[in-house]
Homo-oligomer: A and B are copies of this chain.
Amino acid sequence: METQRRLRAGIVGGGRGAFIGWVHRLAAELDGQALLVAGAMSSRPEIARESAAAWFLVRAYSSYEEMARAESLDANGIDFVIIAAPNHLHYPVARAFLAAGIHVICDKPLALTVAEGEELVRLVEASPILFALTHTYTGYPAVREARELVRGGQLGEIRKVLVEYTQDWLMQPLERGGNKQAEWRTDPARAGLGGAVGDIGTHAANLLEFVTGVRIEAVCADLTSFVSGRGLDDDASMLLRLEGGAKGTLVCSQIACGEENRLSLRVYGTRAGLEWHQQKPNTLTFKPAGKPWELRRTGQGYLSAHAHAATRTPAGHPEGYLEAFANIYRGFIEDVRRVGQGQSPLGNYPGVKDGLRGLRFIAQSVASSRAGSVWMQL
């Protein structure tokens, strides 16, 4: 692959009214390394056409199957595809593009069921095609710094973890008022087994495992649908046990009145603690035993190389969600170029196995809660 051009990207989903597709477009292009040129943006042809025009796409398709076929045959076809369709489509769309030999970057969750997830793991592992999953929050530089602190032993042995992701956008029954986002996200057929647990609980679990490098071993969960008539949970409280003996809690909620997107992580070890809040993303608080708390700020020279590689501006220029998202793309695009040049990929982004862990987390949280809050192994 020549290096002297922007990569060409395609998208499935993201048509008018969607939110996350637009974020994918922006994140993919942010560093000037890729350009969106093709899309199957909606299953409704009119919307697919209009949406593609609004984004100045060169090639608009009315189905992802057609897109996969056509792009794989085109010498100037896309270098990778973005899957930003509702959850139930992740699996078939991913299969189609993997089969077409086109690299895939997919929104989370990986699929609807653990079985689908396992199938995708098999397909990806048996193929040279790249697969990335946009667990956005691992793209924040402060989160990467947190992982480096743990890896470097600065926290000692981990004892206690507290992770949370709370929102309030589903505190009313929006799904009965015509909100498309709310409709499919509360519909088991399109969203999967988990409501809040699937939509945001998986982010929290992934963030925890990413930073600590330790797996959640078991969950003891209490899921609730506070909004009556809702088909999926909109709130969950869980006890966690981690490999190695650490314990903690995971809380996720979409009915926490007044909260926007309160994702936070705290980790306490034998030597230090750390704390991070997604809504103040450029600060990582480090708490060494017996010493003052340190506010570690993105962009500062004392941070690790991994954190620096995820920062675009000098310290004091706040970076946020879109830049974090773009950092997932940065790693993925780097690998697309690498494999295009015959190099092995670096894998600096969440992948298909993280996706499978997320599906197991959803399944076992739901199972634990249904059984009356009993410990379930992940």
Contacts and interface: CB of A to CB of B under 8 A. Distances in A.
A298 to B, nearest CB: 10
A270 B257 contact: yes
A338 interface: no
Interface string A292-328: 1111110111100000000011111111111100000
B261 A26 contact: no
B255 A272 contact: no
B258 A273 contact: yes
Contact of A287 (B222, B258, B268): B258
Interface in A216-231: 220, 222, 224, 226
Contacts of A160: 226, 235, 253, 255-256
A315 B273 CA distance: 17
Contacts of A23: 313
A138 to B, nearest CB: 15
- Copy number in this complex? 4
Contacts of A226: 159-160
A22 B314 CA distance: 12
A296 B372 CA distance: 39
B287 A269 contact: no
Interface of A: 4-6, 19, 22-23, 25-26, 29-32, 35-36, 53, 55-56, 155, 159-160, 162, 164, 167-169, 171, 220, 222, 224, 226, 235, 237-241, 247-249, 251, 253, 255-262, 266, 268-273, 278-282, 286-297, 299-302, 312-323, 372-375
10 contacts: A159-B235, A160-B226, A162-B251, A238-B239, A257-B272, A280-B280, A318-B321, A319-B320, A319-B321, A322-B323
